[in-house]
Amino acid sequence: MQFFCTFAENNLNMKMESFVSIADCSKADILHLMEGTAHFERNPNQNVLEGKVCATLFFEPSTRTRLSFETAINRLGGRVIGFSDASTTSSAKGETLKDTIKMVSNYADVIIMRHHLEGAARYASEVTDIPIINAGDGANQHPSQTLLDLYSIYKTQQRLDNLAITMVGDLKYGRTVHSLLNGMSHFKPTFHFVAPEELRLPDIYKQFLDAQGISYFEHTDFSPEVIDKSDILYMTRVQRERFTDLMEYEKVKNIYVLTNAMLDGSKPNLRVLHPLPRVNEIALDVDDNPKAYYFEQAKNGLYARQAIICNVLEIK
Ligand code: CP
């Protein structure tokens, strides 16, 4: 395997029963999962999940995460059960999350779960003996997205260390932002956070970066100065579903829109990432710019999720 053989720490036996938060992963764990991702990119069709049943429980909407997890399972020879609309399940009759998890644990070897409550995946992992994979819990974490983001950054920059990462948009509610700054913290980044006052990065994440000695700068202007010093421009959607006051959402929903012309002075290696879905924060004219990487980024999610599933099931 060539892809990550330059990393010294990758020769380890990683044991991870559930995959709940990227904060649970060491740098070596992350590099190990990235090696797995590279392996599956080269060989996405393998029968290593034959006989395994994987449950996808999506209490919140999803396109990429659910379908890439399910594709990952199918390409590895496993079987999928689950739901994408919790209103069709007994949770609509009042069944608790605990009971739902205990029931599905009777049928499946692993549960992949998205839930609107922060901490739901951690809680689920505490009430079952089978592995839980967090596919997003409220505004908290989205660790499988982080793995595919890190992989995408590595593929486009040929390194993870010492990069200037600019995160733009909803830094308050964006779980992909929260997870990614945690995952990147192992690699000496410099962060630029571009957000309106209402959607600034919460203090808890800034305290974390301070404790790690990681440099960051906050901006309210999405200016050429910030774009032109970036290696990665990580655009995000304003998360309408997290607002309790929709008037507040209306005030900020169109605050930053990246257009093709705004990339004119950017570094040659700059790549634009977005966890998707986009609403209107990236103009369509950016799509044909070679610096736009968000569709390839989503494709990398398939391989990252194959690596995560095999890891929690301890399949070598
Ligand atoms: N990036 C992401 O989580 O997309 P979905 O909401 O479509 O799964």
CA 70 to chain centre: 16
Assigned token pair, 258: 């990246």
Q: Is the pLDDT of residue 25 over 60?
A: yes
- Compute how many other C-beta atoms are within 10 angstroms of the C-beta atom of residue 206: 17
pLDDT at 5 over 60: no
Find the mean pLDDT for residues 17-42: 97
Higher pLDDT: 130 or 1? It is 130
Mean pLDDT of the chain: 93
Query: What length does the chain have?
Result: 316
Q: What is the DSSP string of 158-185?
A: S--TT-EEEEES-TTT-HHHHHHHHHHG
Calpha distance 294→282 (Å, rounded)? 10
How do residues 53-100 score in pLDDT, each as one tens digit?
A: 999 999 999 999 999 999 999 999 999 999 999 999 999 999 999 999
At 301, list the tokens. Answer: 């999610």
Q: Name the residue at shortest CA distance from atom 5 of ligand 1.
A: 62
Average pLDDT over residues 2-27: 63
Find the mean pLDDT for residues 137-159.
97
pLDDT at 242: 84
Residue among 15, 88, 93, 316 flagged as catalytic: 93
> Can you name the residues that pair with 190 across neighbouring β-strands?
164, 215
The H-assigned helical ranges of the chain are 27-42, 64-75, 97-105, 120-126, 143-157, 175-184, 203-212, 224-228, 246-252, 294-312
Task: Point out the catalytic residue in the list 32, 39, 64, 178.
Answer: 64
The one catalytic residue in 32, 115, 142, 178 is 142
Compute the distance between CA of residue 128 and CA of residue 2 in angstroms, rounded to an integer: 37
**Percent of the chain, pLDDT > 90?**
89
How far, in Å, CA of 251 to CA of 253, rounded? 6
Which of 60, 65, 152, 294 to mutate for ligand 1's pocket (most ligand atoms within 8 Å of CB)?
A: 65
For residue 11, the CA-to-ligand 1 centroid distance in Å is 31
Radius of gyration of the chain (CA): 19
Cα–Cα distance for residue pair 87/110, rounded to 1 Å: 22
Q: What's the rounded Cα separation, in Å, for the pair 60 and 207? A: 29
- DSSP annotation of 215: E
pLDDT the model gives residue 241:
86
Tell me the C-alpha distance between 203 and 218, whole Å: 12
Pairing of strands 79-83, 215-219: unpaired
Hey, which of 63, 70, 151, 237 would you mutate to test ligand 1's pocket, going by the most ligand atoms within 8 Å of its Cβ?
Answer: 63
Residue 170 confidence class, pLDDT cut points 50, 70, 90: very high
Residue with tokens 């966890």: 275
Higher pLDDT, 145 or 16: 145
Confidence of residue 296 (pLDDT cuts 50, 70, 90): very high
- 205 or 16: which leads in pLDDT: 205
What pLDDT is recorded for position 11?
A: 37
Would you place residue 239 in the very low, low, confident or very high pLDDT band (cuts 50, 70, 90)? confident
188 is annotated as an active-site residue: no
pLDDT of 101 > 50? The answer is yes
Report pLDDT for 139.
92
Instruction: Provide the pLDDT confidence category of residue 3 given band limits of 50, 70 and 90.
Output: very low
